């Protein structure tokens, strides 16, 4: 099979073909909708994480990967719509199909105007562009190093203390705001070394807990080689002054996680953002059991699967002057709870030459082997059990410190 996969067009399907969508997440559902809008029927979804049984999604059967072996490779038009395509393509499953496609143009040209269109309106464009960014290196090689996203942590402090927070805020006994000089220096070095960042994600803790976060937000919206800046908040703080003013920008999206009674200023925040013309989205959360640090004995194959199928294994995270591949690795290492793993982190406090830093970022971003953190993480994929979100604890959880925080 060619190392590059074609971008799907309606003319790629002829009568008698069987159209199969690989994946069942947001992208797969959008792909299903777009195909049906063109009058193209989908024979089935294939869910790589479905171990047993057959279910249904959007009126179409969902089957396990083993069913691929029964399909006629020549008459099957298979569209790879896995949400994290760049890591989880699983070529051993797909390589026998010469008619393998991505649906980037299909999704970009689709009109999602019916009531049954999947994915919230404010999220569709982001999901499609994230998918397009992941597909680009497999569609054609450009030599560019463009990051799908970069998490920018502005504080370790949070206005809630959730016992199962997947970003491990429940372990911070003495949270600190980020050093802004250090943070701005790190951002400048990253942006000089890469060809752009599609989306900055401003996080904490609770980012609005840092009253100086507006300075960081203005820096991020000022980068020309970025499309969007998303601020993640829990609806407990309404920013004022410069912080609120920094949100009034066309690149900004404020994503509010609505925790019900815990998000005590949710409605006030929504009203304030609306009044200022700030784009915002409020969603109820779905949490997985991924928020504890503890060594888990896994075979090499299990460890690799933990990494490969993880839904956050490409969320580069900038925390206290260091760059990590995922938020769990970032916070667990920042807390000193993991053994030293110099290959898992880039210290941006070092003034690397841009060419060398580019090589290091490329190696981290396109890594295919598990992180040290994977041994201590419960995993974050579609098989991870869901749990009740935002259960509060009064005190930080006890933590075994393996190495001190730098």
pLDDT one digit per residue (tens) for the chain, 406 residues: 344 688 999 999 998 899 999 988 899 999 999 999 999 999 999 987 665 566 899 999 999 888 889 999 999 999 999 877 555 556 667 888 899 999 999 999 999 999 999 998 888 998 898 888 888 776 666 778 989 899 999 999 999 999 999 999 999 999 999 999 999 999 999 999 999 999 999 999 999 999 999 999 999 999 998 989 999 999 999 999 999 999 999 999 999 999 999 999 999 999 999 999 999 999 999 899 999 999 999 999 999 989 988 888 889 999 999 999 999 999 999 999 999 999 999 999 998 999 999 999 999 998 989 999 999 999 987 678 889 999 999 999 999 888 766 5
147-387 CATH pick, 3.40.50, 3.30.450, 1.10.357, 3.20.20: 3.20.20
Delimit the CATH 3.20.20 region(s) of the chain.
147-387
Question: What predicted TM-score, i.e. pTM, was given to this entire model?
Answer: 0.85
In angstroms, rounded to a whole number, what is the distance separating the alpha carbons of residues 276 and 273? Answer: 5
Q: Are 101 and 85 in contact (CB under 8 A)?
A: no
- How many Cα atoms within 13 Å fall on the side-chain side of residue 382? 13
Buried b (16+ CB within 10 A) or exposed e, 221-249: bebeebebbbbbbbbbbbbeeebbebbeb
Delimit the CATH 3.40.50.720 region(s) of the chain.
17-139
In angstroms, rounded to a whole number, what is the distance separating the alpha carbons of residues 385 and 291? Answer: 12
Q: 17-139 is classed in which CATH architecture? A: 3-Layer(aba) Sandwich (3.40)
Q: Are 137 and 68 in contact (CB under 8 A)?
A: no
Return the closest-CA partner of residue 84 out of 311, 290, 327.
311
């Amino acid at each position: 099979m060619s190392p590059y996969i074609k971008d799907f067009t309606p003319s790629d399907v002829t009568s008698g073909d069987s159209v199969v969508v690989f994946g069942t997440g947001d992208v797969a559902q959008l792909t299903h909708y777009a195909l049906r809008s063109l009058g193209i029927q989908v024979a089935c979804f294939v869910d790589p994480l479905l171990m047993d049984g057959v279910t249904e999604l959007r009126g179409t059967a969902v089957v396990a990967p083993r069913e691929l072996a029964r399909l006629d490779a020549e008459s099957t038009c298979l569209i790879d719509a896995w949400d994290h395509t760049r890591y989880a393509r699983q070529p051993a499953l797909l390589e026998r199909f010469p008619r393998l496609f991505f649906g980037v143009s299909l999704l970009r040209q689709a009109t999602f105007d019916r009531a049954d269109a999947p994915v919230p309106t404010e999220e569709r464009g982001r999901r499609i562009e994230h998918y397009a960014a992941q597909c680009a290196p497999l569609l054609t090689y450009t030599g560019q190093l463009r990051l799908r996203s970069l998490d920018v942590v502005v504080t370790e402090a949070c206005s809630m203390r959730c016992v199962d927070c997947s970003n491990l805020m429940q372990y911070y006994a003495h949270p600190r705001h980020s050093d802004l000089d250090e943070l701005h220096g790190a951002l400048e070095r990253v942006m000089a070394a890469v060809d752009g960042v599609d989306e900055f994600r401003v996080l904490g803790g609770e980012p609005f807990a840092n009253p100086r976060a507006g300075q960081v937000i203005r820096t991020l919206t000022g980068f020309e080689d970025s499309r969007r800046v998303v601020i993640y908040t829990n609806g407990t703080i309404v920013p004022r002054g410069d912080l609120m003013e920094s949100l009034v920008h066309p690149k900004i999206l404020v994503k509010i996680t609505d925790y019900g009674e815990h998000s005590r200023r949710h409605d006030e925040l929504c009203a304030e953002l609306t009044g200022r013309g700030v784009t915002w989205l409020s969603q109820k959360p779905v949490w997985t059991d991924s928020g504890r640090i503890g060594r888990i004995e896994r075979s090499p194959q299990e460890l690799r699967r933990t990494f490969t199928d993880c839904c956050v294994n490409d969320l580069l995270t900038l925390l206290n002057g260091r760059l990590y591949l995922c938020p769990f690795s970032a916070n667990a290492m920042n807390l000193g709870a993991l053994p030293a793993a110099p290959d898992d982190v880039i210290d941006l406090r070092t003034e690397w030459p841009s060419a060398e830093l580019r090589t290091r970022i490329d190696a981290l971003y396109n890594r295919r082997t598990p992180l040290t953190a994977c041994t201590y993480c419960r995993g974050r994929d579609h098989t991870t059990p869901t749990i009740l979100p935002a259960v509060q604890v009064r005190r930080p959880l006890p933590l075994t410190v393996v190495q001190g925080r730098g």
